[in-house]
Amino acid sequence: MAEVEMRVWRGDANGGEFEDFVIELNEGEVVLDVIHHIQATAAPDLACRWNCKAGKCGSCSAEINGRPRLMCMTRMDSLPEGPVTVTPMKTFPIIRDLVTDVSFNFVQAAKVPALLAPPMPEGGYRMFQEDVERGQEFRKCIECFLCQDVCHVIRDHEGNKEHYAGPRFFIRYAELEMHPLDQNDRRDLIREEMGLGYCNITKCCTEVCPEHIKITDNAIIPLKERVVDAHYDPLAWLGRKIRRKPKTSAADAAVQPAP
């Protein structure tokens, strides 16, 4: 049986250091298995978040050898030889060991104006597969917040958190803006308060997304076009102030400039 050296960051808001563990490895194990071995033996108080261990809940986010990843979906045999470092997500305040305070994301979630759907017709809404597919891509999001973690706008500048929603919420806004039923208009909000303009499309978020959502190409860039076009078109601005126009299809909303 192979052995592996794990360097796990341990500490709290006041600081911490790496603690080394040598662990026996079984075939097919992921980083989270190894963390569980450590908990069950050497360090029962090693703090980490996890729920499903199947890549579906997005709880066990951490930085493995410096890269933001899900611990449950990172196979040990996919990592290079040598010690494996596991550190908490850098963008969020430390609670303890690998657990961070991700409440920033829940504050942002509460700011999102909800879907505004027309009254349901007899027998339910009619929507077509091609119209729901764009939104479905964004709704694959498991809220692991790895995109938030890697985004340099908030990773390197704590002060930006006050006026920057981050990639996870840009796909949420994109999903709502492209939703076939939605009648809300969030464009001014996205531009003025959610800081979409800070994103300079380096695509780091797309690279770390465990659900392979094309965050930059399919959500942020179309959202930028939509918001900017609306902002610089005085007629469109006036129109928005006077009436709320329902969008006809997700495809229209996604690729065409606002009216």
Partner 1 sequence: MSDSAYEHHEYDVLIIGAGGAGLRAAIEAKQRGLKVAVVTKSLLGKAHTVMAEGGIAAAMGNVYPEDNWKVHFRDTMRGGKYLNNYRMAELHAKEAPDRVYELEQWGALFDRTKDGKILQRDFGGHRYARLAHVGDRTGLELIRTLQQKVVSMGTDVFMECKVLRLVRDGEGRVAGCVGYWRATGEFVVFQAKAVILATGGAGKSWQYTTNSWESTGDGAAMALWAGARLIDMEFVQFHPTGMVWPLSVRGLLVTESVRGDGGVLRNAAGERFMFNYVTPMFRAETADSEEEADKWYEDHSAGRRPPELLPRDEVARAINTEVKAGRGTPHGGVFLDIASRRTPEYIRRRLPSMYHQFMELAGVDITREAMEIGPTCHYFMGGVQVEADTAATTVPGLFAAGEVAAGMHGANRLGGNSLSDLIVFGRRAGAGAADYAASGAAASGFDEGEVDAAVKEALAPLERTSGENPYDIQRDLQEMMQVNVGIIRNATELERAIEKLEEFTQRAQHIAVKGGRVYNPGWNLATDLPSMITFSKCSAIAASLRKESRGGHTREDFPNTDPELGKVNFALNSEDGRWDGPVTVVESPLLEMPDDLKALLEEAT
Count of residues engaged in binding partner 1, rule: CB under 8 A: 62
Q: How far apart are CB 190 and partner 1 at their closest, in Å? A: 17
Stretch that binds partner 1, among 95-103, 160-168, 200-208, 237-245 (CB under 8 A): 95-103
- Give yes or no for a contact between 112 and 173, defined as CB atoms under 8 angstroms apart: yes
The residue from 127, 189, 221, 228 that contacts partner 1 (CB under 8 A) is 127
Q: Does residue 185 touch partner 1 according to CB under 8 A?
A: no
Q: Does residue 106 touch partner 1 according to CB under 8 A?
A: yes
Q: Do β-strands 61-64 and 67-70 pair in parallel, antiparallel, or remain unpaired?
A: antiparallel
Is 28 or 159 the residue whose CB approaches partner 1 more closely?
Answer: 28
Q: Does residue 26 touch partner 1 according to CB under 8 A?
A: yes
Q: Does residue 53 touch partner 1 according to CB under 8 A?
A: yes
Q: How far apart are CB 209 and partner 1 at their closest, in Å? A: 12
The residue from 62, 84, 86, 135 that contacts partner 1 (CB under 8 A) is 135
The residue from 5, 20, 24, 101 that contacts partner 1 (CB under 8 A) is 101
Residues that bind partner 1 (CB under 8 A): 12, 26-30, 33, 39-41, 43-59, 73, 75, 95-97, 99, 101-102, 106, 109-110, 112-115, 117, 120, 123-129, 132, 135-136, 139-143, 176, 179, 181
